[in-house]
Amino acid sequence: MILLTNAAICLAIAIRLFLYQRGQSNYKLSYALLAWGLVCSSAAVAILIFFNQLSQAQTAQTFMNLLVFICMFKTKGNISQFIYHLFWQSKATAPRQNKKVKIL
């Protein structure tokens, strides 16, 4: 059961990334290569499971794939938004704004 769940999640990740439309955004080779790698690796996992080449999937692996799946659908398949929110948009690392206080 967990094996088929993992296959379905990996297939959904690959389809979401494959169907991403860039629109007016700038093309960046590094993000394109990262997206290509994610599509190939997640599709490969799904294909290997469907052809019985992978016999087991761990719960942690399936949970990790589920988190990637949720993030990809939240960002609509945009790898640059995913990376930005993952590393640079956390409140703990955001620069603090200093407010000047006038003392009378």
pTM (two decimals): 0.74
pLDDT at 92: 53
* pLDDT for residue 77 is more than 90: no
Q: Which pLDDT band holds residue 8 (cuts at 50, 70, 90)?
A: very high
The single-letter code of the amino acid at 45 is V
**Residue 51: exposure state from Cβ atoms within 10 A (0-12, 13-18, ≥19):** exposed
Q: What are the boundaries of each domain within the chain?
A: 2-20+34-87
pLDDT at 75: 82
Q: Which pLDDT tens digit goes with each residue over 20-50? A: 888 887 888 888 898 899 999 999 999 999 9
